[in-house]
Structure formats: structure tokens, C-alpha cells
Amino acid sequence: MAKIALGLGKLTREQNIQLGKDIKTGMTGNANTPNPNPSLVAMGALTTTAETKLTALNAAEAAYKAALLACDDAFIAHNAGLTLQAAYVQDVTGGDPVKIESCNMPIRKPSTPLGPLGQVLDLLVKAGANEGELKASWKKLRGAASYEVQVSVDPFTPTTWRGVAPSSKVRTVITGLTSGAKMWVRVRAIGSGDPGPWSDPATMIVP
């Protein structure tokens, strides 16, 4: 026995209305469906109502888009005017904060020096996905532009540390290590001034 598949959930609103019209046409005068439920008149009224509401919705959406565009244009013009006024006030007041504030214009707060870089914290070292790899991650440090990474064989000494590729992110993958070796990793932040102190070292057996 065949089953009807209306597929209403996959239809656009326009397709949905057209389906209603097509079905009404197909059932009108059809001897196979002598007493439609709902009646063709009632179903036709439902289709007409849906089509009317869709027309109104489309008109409202078009009006909203036009209003939104007009609003955006108005704010672009308004912001341009404010920017010109700010430049004028900046110029005629010579940057005097009292005179600027008398115009009810906000003043940019002076930047606060970051000071020396702090220590990188929460260094975590795990086995990498491939043989001879370690993965390292750490907590982001304010003021750091990049991070210097070093590794050392076990046991580490001040002279056994060697650098690997620096990272601009708070994680890195260290490759080319000897499988089965116990390795130590440490990280420090690099900024506009002196580097920060080294993190506490973390260790892992290379896979």
C-alpha cells in the first residue's frame, strides 16, 4: 500500500501554498475523493489565509530591510559628524582636559604601563600524537607577544637547555625528540621589554 509523503517540513512557504492549491485542483471533481476532509472550501480558505499572511510578511520584511538600511546610513552620517566635531574640539582646546570636558566629550584614559612580564604559569606537557613528539600548553600571560620554549634531557642543568621554535600561541608541538627519553620543558614570555622569568619546568617521557 502506498503512503502519502507531503514533506511539509522541507518545503518553503511558497512551495507549501502551491502544494495546497495543486491538491485542491486535483481533488476537485475527483470521484476517488467524494467527501474531502477538510472540505475543499475550508481547505481553500486555509490556503488563501496562509498566502495572504505570507504576502504581508514579505512586505514587512522588505520594509524592515529598507528601514534598517536607512538607519545604518543615518548612524554613519551621525558618527562622521561627531568625529569632525571631536577633531575641531581637540584642535581649538589644544587638548586641555577641562575645556574638552566642558563640551561633554569623553577623554581617553592614559594607558597603564604593563611593567615587567610575569612568569608563565600552568605549563602542561603531554605525549604527542606521533613518535618523538611532545605537546606543551600554558596559561596566557598579559603583555606577552610570543613565548620562548626550551627543552632539556634528564637531568637538566643550566647548560643542557636548548631552544625550539618559539610560539605566538599558548601551545606548541615539539618534534624530533628521542622516543623513550625523559625530557623537561620550560617556557617564558617575550614582550616589548625584557623576557619574563622561566616557568617551572615540566617533564614527560617522549612517546
What pLDDT, in 10s, does the model give residues 169-184? 999 999 999 999 999 9
Q: 185-203: buried (b, 16+ CB within 10 Å) or exposed (e) per residue?
A: bbbbbbbeeeebebbebbe
Model confidence over 146-170: pLDDT tens digits?
999 999 999 999 999 999 999 999 9
Q: What is the mean pLDDT of the chain?
A: 94
Quick one: pLDDT at residue 114?
Answer: 66
Q: What confidence tier does 113 reach under pLDDT thresholds 50, 70, 90?
A: low
Question: pLDDT tens digits for 24-50?
Answer: 999 999 999 999 999 999 999 999 999
Q: How far apart are CA 134 and CA 183, in angstroms?
A: 9
